[in-house]
Amino acid sequence: MPAWLRALPSGTELAALATLATLPDGAEVHAEGAPARHWHLVVAGAVRLSRLTSDGRRCVAEFLLPGDIFGIEDGVVHAVSAEAACASLLARIPRRPAEALAEADPALASALRDLTLARFAHGQDRLLRLACLTATERVASFLVEMAERSGAGDEIRLPMGRGDIGDHLGLRPETVCRTMAQLCRGGAFAMPAPNRILVRDRAALEALALRDRRPSAPDRDWDRRWAA
Amino acid sequence: MPAWLRALPSGTELAALATLATLPDGAEVHAEGAPARHWHLVVAGAVRLSRLTSDGRRCVAEFLLPGDIFGIEDGVVHAVSAEAACASLLARIPRRPAEALAEADPALASALRDLTLARFAHGQDRLLRLACLTATERVASFLVEMAERSGAGDEIRLPMGRGDIGDHLGLRPETVCRTMAQLCRGGAFAMPAPNRILVRDRAALEALALRDRRPSAPDRDWDRRWAA
DNA sequence: CGCGCGCTTGACTAACTTCAAAGATGGTGG
DNA sequence: CCACCATCTTTGAAGTTAGTCAAGCGCGCG
């Protein structure tokens, strides 16, 4: 059984269904609106999920990194298009047998539900980022997110281009460049190559990437407002 | 059975669980991070779901209008806070019995799943709006959305304040004001009161509110890239 | 009737975009 | 193996958009 499916319950059975493919940079995995006949799993590289406006502006909803599954839809078609953000290796799992497997295995079904839940919460974070944060804060929060997801200590790899990052953060590629150069000059990190970041001052980066506050006080007055 | 639950399967049984409450403008329904013990349904008025950054900036993720259900969580706590955007009437449905009902009634379970799906798709639309659109386009697309949701012909009611709309669109209240005044002057609509819009030129409004393109061409080359 | 709050408008400022051009980088073919 | 070319990144300068600050208006509530 391949390493990249070990994390999932029923990984062995899923692996038996999967086929592999190498995609060149920019290759399309599926278009927006295309029939959703397969799940996909990133084995190596990176995939971007995006949508376009009618006049060609692009919004990258999400980046998928090795270990991430995408293309699991409740509907009949894919809601977003998916392309390789760099040369990548993907596993394709046919939808029907995979769904049958999930129905038979409650643990797998539960894992997939958790995955959807996490993706939804992640979507809320991106909404907050786009609605509230400045360019510097968006870039910093993106880098913190990438650092957490790649989990490689103080090194962050950026498998996608500046344009992709810009479309993800609602900024121009030039603004992404300038902002990163500025953070770099400020000592937050070093940048030996455009796609390699060495974090020097994680605290400074996290301070810029203002996370939301999570008030946890129980709402004591709440019940008084309701009739029995 | 109240009219506002007739649309749902098992509405009668749900209605038996519900209690009603009148909330004044600004009242909190539940806080972010509070235990998710109830579902809620908007009977009249409007509710906003929002999150805060650590320094107090706010992002309104969603507005709920009469007939909308919210507070259905997979997790143990609410992911966002909910407040009345104006004086409102809500129905509160305790979570456990409601979930038991959903388990017993596949039609209800399916309806709730569709609701979650629709909400997710809606989230993608908001992402595109924040990442790609100008202030004018954001306001126009918000008005088109409200027109579709309230479904009252050419009249749109805006039960929320300019600040709420701004926090929803990633704009300042002043910018919302100015943009609406400008659209009004341009003849797109009339505004007899700040919270009443009479659409005059729906085509112009929809043209500004650039929806995404939905390519539907099947991906014929796709299978050639995969090994058997 | 007066007060307060939210809406509206104006003038100015800051932030981001746009346009333009100069380095890097990596892949291809000679 | 190296040189060339296309592409992406980076930087600079000017332009636009939306934000900030401030004041006036209007409505609803007390």
pLDDT tens digits for range B141-181: 999 999 999 888 899 999 999 999 999 999 999 999 999 99
Task: Write out the two tokens for A14.
Answer: 């899923």
So what's the pLDDT on residue A213? 52
The stretch B175-193 carries a mean pLDDT of 97
Strand pairing report for A69-70 and B47-52: unpaired
For residue B228, pLDDT over 60 is answered with no
Query: Is A40 within 8 Å of A69 (Cβ atoms)?
Result: yes
pLDDT at B6: 64
Question: Which H or E run includes A207?
Answer: helix A202-208
User: CB atoms < 10 A from the CB of B160, how many?
Assistant: 22
Residues β-bridged to residue B188: none
- Residues of chain A with pLDDT > 90, as a percent, come to 74
Q: How many CA within 13 A on the CB side of residue B175?
A: 16
Closest nucleotide to B163, Cα to C1':
C6
Handedness of CA B20, B24, B25, B30 (dihedral sign): negative
Burial code (b: 16+ CB inside 10 Å, e: under 16) for A132-160 equals bbebbbbbbbbbbbbbeebeeeeebbbbb
What pLDDT is attached to residue A222? 45
Q: Residue A6 burial by CB count (10 A; 0-12/13-18/19+): exposed, middle or buried?
A: exposed
B28 and A212 within 8 Å at the Cβ level: the answer is no
User: What is the DSSP code string of A121-139?
Assistant: HHHHHHHHHHHH--HHHHH
Regarding pTM above 0.75, the answer is: yes
Tokens of B121: 């798709």
Q: Specify the pLDDT at position B219.
A: 40
For helices A106-132 and B106-132, the axis angle rounded to 10 degrees is: 30
pLDDT in tens, B201-224: 999 999 998 765 544 444 444 444
Decide: helix, strand or coil at residue B83.
strand
- Please write the tens of the pLDDT for every residue from A66-120: 999 999 988 899 999 999 999 999 999 999 999 999 989 999 988 888 888 888 8
Pairing of strands B155-157, B196-199: antiparallel
Strands, E assignment, B5-55? 19-23, 28-30, 38-44, 47-52
For residue A223, pLDDT over 50 is answered with: no
Residue A57 to residue A53: CA distance in whole angstroms: 5
- Which among A33, A61, A92 has CB closest to B124? A61
Enter the tokens of residue A58.
Answer: 């692009």
Q: Which residue of B has its CA nearest to A120?
A: B120
Q: Which chain A residue shows the shortest CA-CA distance from B207?
A: A54
pLDDT value at A140 more than 50: yes
B53 reaches A (C-beta below 8 A): yes
Mean pLDDT, chain B, integer = 89
Q: What is the pLDDT of residue B180?
A: 98
Is the Cβ of B212 closer than 8 Å to some Cβ of chain A? yes
User: What does B131-149 look like in DSSP terms, one character per residue?
Assistant: HH--HHHHHHHHHHHHHHH
A224 touches B at CB < 8 Å = no
Residue from B2, B195, B196 nearest B90 by CA:
B2
| CA distance to A69, A116, B205, per residue, from B196 (Å) | 45, 38, 16
